Chain A
């Protein structure tokens, strides 16, 4: 009896064991029905482009003395910022994957665009910090590099210039169909123009290193201008157009902050007023009092800004008194507003004007480029800010170009002319071009930004806390190499500004 029970028990147990451990089809459940692990590269391209070309919002406008905040002491406005972000590497992850997928399906055109986007992001990263991981970066998945070494800033610039050269060549050699392209709808020639124009922008950024024998800046610049297609009209602008659909709208659309505690900077308004620059009517709203008094939109005296330095509560008083201008409502109430231009005709013309003034090209007609730039920007707003188009038509541009503070005077020195070029770069950069104009001020000293009590405009950001935690040795080496041990500070001077 007893052994019978025992047998039964063992028997049943064995059956259970066999039936269960035949774990055959468990693995079939592990296939994700929702997503793919491979993709044609163009699905990534749309995502990457729409992020890369999206409007950059208020941050650069605070630092560039274009807006002020009354809801707190804004660290950008008061030049008190500390750590910067490595977020671009997240975007670069998708760029890396797109290039891998392009290689897999043998579509070199996406590899070329990948090089351009890498150059674009690494350019922004190196200007923000100085040395950054570049040659060993983005190899976390492919090479198990989890804590990449930092490259010197010079190496980064050399690298991205080479990548852009490759991009231009690849595009020239492979004029294939580009799908998913929301910038140029697949126009390879326009892409080449953007790539080459961006090379000019980078070379000009390095103007302080113009005599570095390794970089060969002048001849490279001249060579591109002479032999490669560059952006030649507003139609070639590297820009993102917005649509009234969820996910395709202007980045600042419906942002609450504009209508309650963001006002236009008084120094910015003053500079527009001094030049009778009608773009003021497009950027800003009349003050409350001006509206009450019935002053016209094109009355320059209807505008007044907030002081970017001193106690910010003084601006609240100014707001209370109705004497301060909000940012134009179209930036946050128009779902498509205006395209965001990463690099366009107007800026390229200003780049050429400066290069000519600096003697980088065998040409002296800098003023033509300068005038082209202003006309192009006026026509950009004429097209994209329809409500205000009468203020910025061709005639308005002509009048503007005659303003004594705008036009090149015969008495102007080369320095004066560069100042005017920089001023125009500045005046056209409201919600356009991200941090470009801030870095241009660091490079040239123009157009001088009003300093708060905390000091001059910082030259960089402190490396992210996550690098201190996850890449400690490499970041420490980079700091010591550039600025001396423990000197990871916002006013330490990186190579490109030396």
Chain B
């Protein structure tokens, strides 16, 4: 192991160009001894026929017709006809076509064989798109890939396409935030994969991609698959191939789907028994402590029939005249701010459904059309899409639209011009703000508003009477905004234009050799603004309104030239090699402008600034140049070996280390082609791969300037500029970081491939990681950049593809995925024992957080006098964050004209900390926080006695590692009662409590869940409309649902969100209808 590493590192150290030369030499050497083999045809025999679609009866061009056991074959012409010379009458013909089931038909002496082949229930497993846009037979690939069956997502809609990828691929995790315009987080084996569209790496949040344009999605796992995309592909890749016109003639497709929210899958419920206030008491005066506990908290009076309390929307009573004046919000700054004359009239103290009343129905509608035309040597596809999403938060929406055009044109028989352009716009006139703070509706409504606050009054009265434009009407003026005021008067717009274009010219020099050049450009322009009205508050921000704008522009050029050579020498040996060069250039600019306060309310213009406007610019650039080569060798139809290598030169590394090489190798062995296997086994394949990928300081283009230290401007003080120096010590000798991955897998097909089984084990060693190593703050710095730490990830992925039932009328297809992954810190920089909280060998996802002091046998220690616990100065381990395993199940049923698809996925094990739950306890909105209130208010003194022990004598001494030096403590059971409010504001709030420690007070949950992700039922009504003869090829109707149901262990939150560090919107259930027609 050691030797291997030294060899590898010496390879890295040597000059990169030498490696390239070596690589080419190797290719030449391998090439020389090969001779072209000739096959012997003795008594030839000609078979011809037509191939049709078993369903539509239309002819199928391009179907592969081969003789079983050989590589000899042909394909059908544009009329679906084929003719083929066969060696013997006893041979069998194999008809295969992408997306169709392979048919094997013995010739049995016939000269004309017409065949109908049927579309696969699941699109073909055989051909997949791999790195560099190459289409390959899956069985030839020595590394792990898995397709997302586009059919399985075709009839469904979700707020973001990526939401539909859940559970479809073993090892691919999608975290699904629940708010409007929140992007899903996509993780492949725990890392962020590169997204590649038509062979061009892109940056996308999937809002700017139309599902209707997607032909295929293939997930290349691990590093082996994507070593050829350069360091950006080090964490795997999701390859998306867009549609082109594949069918001869003109095809028109239009579809529309519309879905609406139908309740909630997870709705966070707060308590509805007690309102705003503290210690059971409340009365509104100024909403910031001037009344009775009207500044904060929901520990107020109980809702009871007939109870009346002065509230924020109470009318004002003039005690002199007896006049009643309707009023909303504070009276501060008006003549009514005089308690000797005016009073707020007590009004009924009743509970409302604030959050539910606030959230409206969400709507998502999607319209698509496409027009494809193929004739002879030219094909064109034009498509357009428009989607409108109405958010659940009032006054929020997202509109998306785009057009794309793709064409392929054979200029001469050997020269093909391919070109794709698309334009997409993602526009939101206003979208909600997220995160923990008073501009988030969840913060306001779920956590910090008592249900005594009447939502109707809040909605109908946004301003304090007479102070329109200047002061919002609200129930609180210390911490919170009126959520409707936020929704209607605070506005943020986002407007993104994405242009993607590529031109590809392919020149077939000979039958075996082609050269291809591709150039592509991706441009993203984004305008964002924020309009904040006067009196809107957010923590320490100014409260006299502002207007802020951000203009960003992001452009990527990706150019690629490659030469590919392929030769079939014999049925026993095939060879192909591709070598190329790539250059990738990115540039990003941001212009920010802001007012400092507003003069005139409601005018959102930079010139309406009260004080000096503020502005800044930020620019960054990055380029990577690469050369690469990949070689495929095939032996005996059973061994497929791939070797590849790439060298990058990156602009974001120090000059001495900016060149780095990375190789990969993979081997696939089809055992079933080598030996005869027992009958049920129709196919058996083993594969293995090894790859090493290096990457630079800034693979994600966040901060390309890290090889030198720069002062940062922090602002100005009274007009004088201020600079500060960064806290990380840079390293001018930093080297690229490396991931070395090893993978072995076994695939087996049973019962004529009715059951396919795939198992992959992988081991990834992340070494030389570029880390900001924490150092003593007394050094003046908090960290320094080093190459260090090794993480070892071991994972197992299993997938099962089967067709349990297949008959004329009824099919059932089942796809199951299971994955498990554990990442450990296996070595620390400088052979240290610990890195932050982690020791060598520990799980990297171990969750350490502040906990309560406990006895050595785990009992909670409470102060004898106050009854309260004490925080442990050492962080405590509360579990690991990643689940033990994840799974996904897709069922597809077909019965005559009906198809039903059901997707289920989930995760088991792992923990998740919930900010929502903590804050609910603190504020008094937690459903369980009602438990002891009545008893305590009745008794007039604390009655709740927490379970735990008091220290009677002795003390604990620990060293700087937290190890116990001596512990002489003795204990007794706690008998001190604590105010229930005090307890709830401490124990479940101020430190982490797991479900094991307390079921009732837990704020760290088991993250296990099972989700019914989506269901769709499609009815093909083509046959009903065929008789009208309007040229309809296919019409179908679909009813579908997304995010339908969940089983979970966590309380209040949806673990599918991924985390609960910043509050969650309620998790909405969607139901919808889709119509799809092709002409």
Chain B residue nearest to A464 (CB atoms) is: B777
Chain A residue nearest to B277 (CB atoms) is: A320
Chain B residue nearest to A31 (CB atoms) is: B705
Contact B296 A260 (CB under 8 A): yes
Q: Is B834 an interface residue (CB 8 A)?
A: yes
Contact B781 A486 (CB under 8 A): no
Chain B residue nearest to A249 (CB atoms) is: B542
CB of A121, distance to nearest CB on chain B (Å): 11
Q: Is B253 an interface residue (CB 8 A)?
A: no
Q: Which of B742-792 contact A (CB under 8 A)?
A: 774-782, 784
CB of A130, distance to nearest CB on chain B (Å): 14
Contact pick for A319, options B289, B512, B620, B718, CB 8 Å: B289
CB of B590, distance to nearest CB on chain A (Å): 10
Known A34-B618, A137-B779; judge A261-B20 contact (CB<8 A).
no
CB of B943, distance to nearest CB on chain A (Å): 13
Q: How far is the CA of A454 from the CA of B281 in the complex (A)?
A: 29
**Residue numbers in B under 8 Å from A32 (CB-CB):** 705, 708, 710
Q: Is B331 an interface residue (CB 8 A)?
A: no
Q: Is B727 an interface residue (CB 8 A)?
A: yes
Interface residues as binary, A119-149 with B (CB distance below 8 Å gives 1, 0 otherwise): 0000000000000110001111100011110
Interface residues as binary, A16-46 with B (CB distance below 8 Å gives 1, 0 otherwise): 1101110100110111111111010001101
Q: Which of B1029-1061 contact A (CB under 8 A)?
A: none
On chain B, the number of residues with a Cβ less than 8 Å from chain A's Cβ atoms is 133
Q: Is A227 an interface residue (CB 8 A)?
A: no
Q: Is A498 an interface residue (CB 8 A)?
A: no
Known A37-B710, A486-B966; judge A472-B960 contact (CB<8 A).
yes
CB of B317, distance to nearest CB on chain A (Å): 15
The bracket for how many chain A residues form the interface is 35 or more
**Residue numbers in A under 8 Å from B717 (CB-CB):** 46-47, 49-50, 182, 247-248
Q: How far is the CA of A9 from the CA of B780 in the complex (A)?
A: 57
Q: How far is the CA of A124 from the CA of B517 in the complex (A)?
A: 65
Q: How far is the CA of A46 from the CA of B959 in the complex (A)?
A: 41
Q: How far is the CA of A89 from the CA of B543 in the complex (A)?
A: 33
Q: Is A301 an interface residue (CB 8 A)?
A: no
Contact B781 A244 (CB under 8 A): no
Q: How far is the CA of A44 from the CA of B982 in the complex (A)?
A: 45
**Residue numbers in A under 8 Å from B477 (CB-CB):** 259
Contact A475 B729 (CB under 8 A): no
Contact A8 B779 (CB under 8 A): no
Q: Is A184 an interface residue (CB 8 A)?
A: no
Contact B960 A468 (CB under 8 A): yes
Known A138-B778, A247-B717, A453-B866; judge A312-B509 contact (CB<8 A).
no
Contact pick for B720, options A16, A140, A182, CB 8 Å: A182
Interface residues as binary, A298-320 with B (CB distance below 8 Å gives 1, 0 otherwise): 00000000000001110011011
Chain B residue nearest to A253 (CB atoms) is: B540
Q: Is B643 an interface residue (CB 8 A)?
A: no
Chain B residue nearest to A260 (CB atoms) is: B295
Q: Is A155 an interface residue (CB 8 A)?
A: no
Contact A26 B649 (CB under 8 A): yes
Chain A residue nearest to B563 (CB atoms) is: A12
Q: Is B422 an interface residue (CB 8 A)?
A: no
Q: Is B875 an interface residue (CB 8 A)?
A: yes
**Residue numbers in A under 8 Å from B874 (CB-CB):** 465
Contact B965 A486 (CB under 8 A): yes
Contact B513 A89 (CB under 8 A): no
**Residue numbers in B under 8 Å from A86 (CB-CB):** 777-778
Q: Which of B687-724 contact A (CB under 8 A)?
A: 704-705, 707-724
Contact A26 B778 (CB under 8 A): no
Which of B202-210, B307-315, B369-377, B983-991 is near enough to bind chain A? B983-991
**Residue numbers in A under 8 Å from B626 (CB-CB):** 20
Chain B residue nearest to A454 (CB atoms) is: B863
Q: How far is the CA of A2 from the CA of B32 in the complex (A)?
A: 11
Q: Which 3 A-B pairs have the closest CB atoms?
A: A260-B295, A140-B779, A486-B957
Interface residues of B (CB under 8 A from A): 16-17, 20-21, 24, 28, 31, 36, 277-279, 281, 285, 288-293, 295-297, 299, 339-340, 477-479, 509-510, 512-513, 515, 537, 539-543, 561, 563, 565, 577, 579-581, 583, 596, 611-612, 614, 617-623, 625-627, 629, 647, 649-652, 655, 658-659, 704-705, 707-725, 727, 729, 774-782, 784, 834, 836-837, 863, 865-866, 868, 870-871, 873-875, 922, 942, 957-962, 965-966, 978-979, 981-982, 985-986, 989-990
Give 17 A-B contacts (CB < 8 Å), ordered by A residue: A6-B28, A8-B513, A13-B24, A37-B710, A47-B717, A49-B717, A140-B781, A182-B720, A243-B718, A245-B716, A260-B478, A311-B979, A453-B865, A464-B777, A465-B873, A465-B875, A470-B776
17 extra interface residue pairs, beta carbon distance < 8 Å, beyond A43-B722, A89-B777: A8-B509, A20-B581, A27-B658, A29-B622, A30-B651, A34-B618, A46-B721, A82-B873, A97-B711, A133-B778, A141-B781, A243-B718, A245-B716, A261-B295, A467-B776, A467-B778, A486-B958
